[in-house]
Structure 1
Amino acid sequence: MWLTASHFIILGLLLVFGIVHSGLAALRSWGEAKIGVRLYRIFFVLVNLPLAIILVVYFFYHRYDGLILWQFQEFLAVKIIVWLLSAISFLFLYPSTFNLLEIAAISKPKVHLHETGILRICRHPQMIGQIIWCIAHTLWIGSSFTIITSLSLIAYHLFAIWHGDYRLEKLYGEQFICIKQKTSIIPFLAVLDGRQSLVLNEFSRPAYIGVCGFIILIWFCHLQLL
């Protein structure tokens, strides 16, 4: 039986994470009014971070479960493609949040409606980064478990971009609509049709430099994990 219990468990874990993550995001205004901006951010992180860690650890230990549909790991070209895609995915996934002090609630967390750096390329870079990550790891691993995980992650992120745009438009109205009209979900579309222009010096921010260092660290870690 290739359809192991782990296939259903990862779906359950992803469902719980999605409900909690998007649910708490939807309750942000209400929660901040009740307990304050910093305390709500701390609560948000303390609830979501353990769920994310459980997901990552469970995926790691079960990534080869089920049916192995292909195995291309012996091909150098595939290895290069996977590493390039993984590096690109991190460049989209993490610099979308510049204010690291706000994440830790050291500085007062705020919603920033900006169109700089990676956001000029794509309004929802985390979604694009997650899709690229899923493609890379599914190509490398080739298991039914990884395919189910990847499709579920992509489905959640597609919902999340709708949910995020809905919440921001509801909160900020015309201000967000203006940002929405000047940016695109599809990478580089707004640049190609003239709504945006790339400003290269915006990519020299510490967030991007930090991600490049993180990619190098992940490279050495993956050599031990694969």
Structure 2
Amino acid sequence: MATSLLLSSSFLSSSPLSQPRRLTSNVPTSCFPYARTSAKLFLKPTHVPSCSFRFCHKIMAGTSIGETEEEGVEPVTVGEDSAAFDLGQQKISSWIYFGGILGVVLFLLDVVWIDNSTGFGKDFIAAVAGVSESHEVVMLILTLIFAIVHSGLASLRDSGEKLIGERAFRVLFAGTSLPLAVSTVVYFINHRYDGLQLWQLQSVPGIHQVVWFSSFVSFFFLYPSTFNLLEVAAVDKPKMHLWETGIMRITRHPQMVGQVIWCVAHTIWIGNSVAVAASIGLIGHHLFGVWNGDRRLASRYGEAFDTVKRRTSIIPFAAILDGRQKLPENYYKEFLRLPYLSITMLTLGAYLAHPLMQAASFRLHW
């Protein structure tokens, strides 16, 4: 997902428990610590291996995997607590390492890809642009190339990590996807007004506020793919997470929803054929990602993912409205966390930096 990669992520109770019934799965002896409040039981996820989640979710509830919980009792969390951030567990050395890696990556990206005198980015754009004189066609091809590489490598993650290790595969994944993402975004910025004008709504009262607010909200959906930045940079060992709280209660595929919101907002604002082509490509990629993401999580987590899938939805709020998802008391607290404060600041910063991004893209002449 080109736009979210470059610009672009939240997120707890029972009457005394009855005698637990026999579980249908083998359960490891070490599991989540748990706590009670006056009304319900909930689990407090801590840092444990992700492979343990499929076994730990029903221990204290006394039900088999997927079994319906008693009425009035909040379902026990199966997956991980989204955007949980414990400042006390952070190591200064890890963030210094992260800063160093980020600097090296940006330097290499500039030399190898962005700089027109040394990089291959300009030649790549020229090769794709040589296929057609239509900016719409070029935009779709660039998005398609990125989607094939990005989703293709994601689909090969299990076998790739077994072959070369989690960190090495993350470096390969990011090192391949990031240049293609930059090329796609820069081309869009430079040619966003070169297409056929289909409508002009920028002068309509209130439209700027609607587009701005929609774009701002979209990043709260786009963010969950990168809850742990240290994993993104391979400082921490990368994992495939099964998130369940926070925005996942609203939609199981927040990246797709955020991308749709972003695309619709920007297409309404720009109103031409290039924006439509970019939106078709990006939304199509993310709709494929819905199927591919569910397939990969089902393969990795099995019955635990089936449980999450039953009580979440692809369409926002659908599981809440039909009663499959019950929001906990003080649900808003799942969003009052440092990662979401960070994404708020970064989103506002990206908006204010629009002129700088446009000027930098124009200087590349892609």
Name the TM-score, length of structure 1 as normaliser: 0.94
- The answer to whether the 8 Å contact 1:98/1:207 transfers is yes
Give the SS at the match of 2:206. Answer: helix
- The answer to whether the 8 Å contact 1:95/1:211 transfers is no
Query: Which of the numbers 215, 239, 254 marks the counterpart of 1:125?
Result: 254
Written as runs of structure 1 = structure 2, the 5 A alignment for 1:164-179 is 164-179=293-308
Give the SS at the match of 1:94. Answer: helix
Query: Which of the numbers 138, 156, 179 marks the counterpart of 1:9?
Result: 138
Residue type matched to 1:153 in 2? L
Query: Which of the numbers 212, 216, 223 marks the counterpart of 2:348?
Result: 216
Distance 1:200 1:137 in 2: 28
1:27 aligns with 2:156: yes
- The answer to whether the 8 Å contact 1:4/1:65 transfers is no
In structure 2, the residue matched to 1:134 is: 263
Query: Which of the numbers 78, 81, 86 marks the counterpart of 2:215?
Result: 86
Written as runs of structure 1 = structure 2, the 5 A alignment for 1:50-89 is 50-89=179-218
- The answer to whether the 8 Å contact 1:82/1:140 transfers is yes
Q: Deviation at 1:169?
A: 1.1
Distance 1:99 1:189 in 2: 27
Distance 2:317 2:146 in 1: 30
Mean CA deviation greater in 27-36 or 199-208: 199-208
Residue identity (%): 52
Q: Deviation at 1:223?
A: 5.9
- The answer to whether the 8 Å contact 1:95/1:208 transfers is no
Residue type matched to 1:216 in 2? L
Distance 2:152 2:164 in 1: 17
Note the residue ranges of structure 1 that are not aligned, 5 or more in a row: none
Q: Deviation at 1:9?
A: 1.1
1:48 aligns with 2:177: yes
In structure 1, the residue matched to 2:291 is: 162
Note the residue ranges of structure 2 that are not aligned, 5 or more in a row: 1-131, 360-366
Distance 1:222 1:83 in 2: 12
Query: Which of the numbers 161, 177, 192 marks the counterpart of 2:321?
Result: 192
- The answer to whether the 8 Å contact 1:14/1:153 transfers is yes
Distance 1:172 1:138 in 2: 37
- The answer to whether the 8 Å contact 1:121/1:184 transfers is yes
Aligned residues: 224
Query: Which of the numbers 270, 274, 280 marks the counterpart of 1:145?
Result: 274
Distance 1:4 1:163 in 2: 33
Q: Which has the larger radius of gyration?
A: 2
Distance 2:261 2:144 in 1: 21
Distance 1:222 1:27 in 2: 35
Distance 2:218 2:320 in 1: 19
Q: Deviation at 1:96?
A: 4.2
Name the TM-score, length of structure 2 as normaliser: 0.59
Residue type matched to 2:304 in 1? Q
Q: Deviation at 1:99?
A: 1.3
* CA RMSD of superposed structures (Å): 1.7
Mean CA deviation greater in 170-179 or 81-90: 170-179
In 2 relative to 1, CA 24–96 (structure 1 residues): closer, same or farther, beyond 3 Å? Answer: closer
Task: Show CA shifts across 1:99-128 (max 9, x none).
Answer: 111111111111111201111111000000
Give the SS at the match of 2:241. Answer: coil
In structure 2, the residue matched to 1:203 is: 335
Residue type matched to 2:342 in 1? G
Distance 1:150 1:49 in 2: 19
- The answer to whether the 8 Å contact 1:95/1:207 transfers is no
